[in-house]
Structure 1
């Protein structure tokens, strides 16, 4: 097994649950990463050794956690963290970065939160099954995206079962209906010049209440969700078509190319043109 390796998950339109990257590392003594804030959820499982996690809690106060083999830690989107391996017994871990519409709801069934980011299982068997699912994903990158997403669901099931919050049965509320209606409307009309007021009106509720229940359920505002969805569609067009950047921006609801490029870079860290070129290079290397 090599010292470090990771895989970027191929871009697919997985809205409820998607993966971004996953990997394995046997860290050198004192090896550290951070401080940094992630865009998505990132879970590490410690196979052996020990290390330290420094993570901001829900109040923005940095907390320090000592983590050993058989435990893990979850980093939340926007949470500033630093983690480093022990000098004498550096940790070996496997990780998965994921996100999606269902993730916040799934994680609410566990004991994990920005205030309690350390994973401790009450069951040895479930803990081993969780680890094995993660290792399977890491060592089977050649499998189809749907196959790997299936194993990501199994990983999350083991995470829930081994770290279950008491009295955590999900409830069906009227707000869930509004959010489903809003998401459906966005999926059907993202290419148009739609506003948050318009989406709220379609659901039959006022904008203030709509924004509140949407962010509570999905962890992001309606504006953020709409922009992320548009950028997701933009990556599909960049990868699969020869349309110009301006044409793609227009196709996902941006008549102004500069506004489109700025929004895209905010999400992916590079311009649409740079993203497209990187995809071409990646396909070229794969074909060699």
Structure 2
């Protein structure tokens, strides 16, 4: 039997939360990875054995953590880190790399930060259910993307319940309510001519205060989130329908096709037309 399982998630059509790669490994003694940085969130759960994680904190200082079976560690996007299996008792771990518009909010609600990346569960039974979800995903790469995303949500639910404290949850409750209200408003009105002022007014908040709590929670400004959400929806329409570029732009809140094409290219790096051809397996030079 191989000592590693590794899979790449086949779909990019999940906006709120999506997988990138996942797996399981029984590491060789002193097996290491890094120093390197990831583009997304990467969580490891240690099933057995021990090892070390060295990661940059918020001050760019390298901090080393000893991590053993029953614990885990979260690597943040663009955080430089190195992790090494013990020479005598190398770890066996399972991992998930994921991201999405709501990932930052969920990770912070679970008690993680670049200054606190180690998972030390408060509830062992929930931690075991979380591990089982991770191992299930690692062993079922042949299942549909929707099936695997469903288990990703279950993993995150167990991660949050097993690691977050009641006081932490209570302190974030009101802020999270406003963010959910704002996201619901965006999801229902992204195709209309809405502004950050409109979103803040819907939540009955001062624009400045709303912008701060939104950025602190989501990791993007409300305007950046709105544009990202619109462009994600535009990508779905370009890939899944035969609508014209103008009709796609109009459907996501850009009645001016030129403005839509510029916004799309700022996010994806190519024009909507070139992106559609690439997704259909026919790369087109973007002139």
- Is the shorter-chain TM-score for this pair beyond 0.5, marking a shared fold? yes
In the aligned structure 1, how far is the partner of 2:158 from the partner of 2:18? 17
Distance 1:164 1:199 in 2: 29
Distance (Å, rounded) in 1 between the aligned partners of 2:144 and 2:194: 35
Measured at CA, do residues 191 and 162 of structure 1 come closer, stay the same or move farther in structure 2, by a change above 3 Å? closer
Q: 2:93 is matched with which residue?
A: 93
Task: For residue 142 of structure 1, give the secondary structure of its aligned residue in structure 2.
Answer: coil
Name which of structure 1's ranges 67-76 and 4-13 shifts more when overlaid on structure 2.
4-13
Q: Is 2:87 the counterpart of 1:80?
A: no
**245-254 vs 148-157, which moves further:** 245-254
Q: Deviations over 1:85-119 (max 9, x none)?
A: 33735544321133456555544554432211111
- Do residues 264 (structure 1) and 268 (structure 2) align? yes
SS of the residue corresponding to residue 70 of structure 1 reads coil
Counterpart residue number, 2:252: 252
Alpha-carbon offset, residue 81 of structure 1: 2.5
Shift in Å at residue 25 of structure 1?
Answer: 3.8
Against the structure 1 CA distance between its residues 169 and 85, is the aligned structure 2 distance closer, same or farther, given a 3 Å change threshold? closer
The two structures, once aligned, show a CA RMSD in angstroms of 3.5
How far is 1:226 from its partner? Answer: 1.1
Please report how far the alpha carbon of residue 138 of structure 1 lies from its aligned counterpart in structure 2 after TM superposition. 1.7
Can you list the C-alpha shifts for 1:131-175, whole angstroms capped at 9, x where unaligned? 211010121233344433332333233323432425334368665
Q: Which residue of 1 aligns with 2:52?
A: 52
Q: Where in structure 2 are the equivalents of 1:142-221 lying within 5 Å?
A: 142-165=142-165, 167-170=167-170, 175-221=175-221
Contact 1:9 1:22 in 2 (8 A): no
Shift of residue 186 of structure 1?
A: 1.9
Shift of 1:64: 2.1
Counterpart of 1:286? none
- CA–CA distance in structure 2, aligned partners of residues 187 and 164 of structure 1: 28
Asked whether the 8 Å contact 1:4–1:26 carries over to 2, the reply is: no
Q: What's the CA shift for 1:8?
A: 0.8
Any idea what SS the aligned residue of 1:224 has? helix
Q: Distance in 1 between matches of 2:197 and 2:180?
A: 16
Residues of 2 paired with 1:26 and 1:279: CA distance? 36
Give the 5 Å matches for 1:101-116: 103-116=103-116
Of 163-172 and 43-52, the range deviating more from structure 2: 163-172
Q: How many residues align?
A: 275
SS of alignment partner, residue 73 of structure 2: strand
In 2, are the aligned partners of 1:10 and 1:145 still within 8 Å (CA)? yes
Cα deviation, residue 202, structure 1: 4.0
Query: For the residues of structure 1 that align with 2:213 and 2:123, how far apart are their CA atoms?
Result: 35
| Structure-2 separation of matches of 1:140 and 1:63 | 35
Cα displacement (A) at 1:212: 1.2
- The structure 1 segments of at least 4 consecutive aligned residues displaced by more than 6 Å after TM superposition are none
Question: Which whole-Å deviations, capped at 9, do the CAs of 1:170-206 have from their partners, x for residues lacking one?
Answer: 3686655543443233223323454323432444433
Q: Where does the alignment leave 5 or more consecutive residues of structure 2 unmatched?
A: 282-287
Distance 1:124 1:199 in 2: 40
Given the two structures, how large is their TM-score scaled by the length of structure 1? 0.76
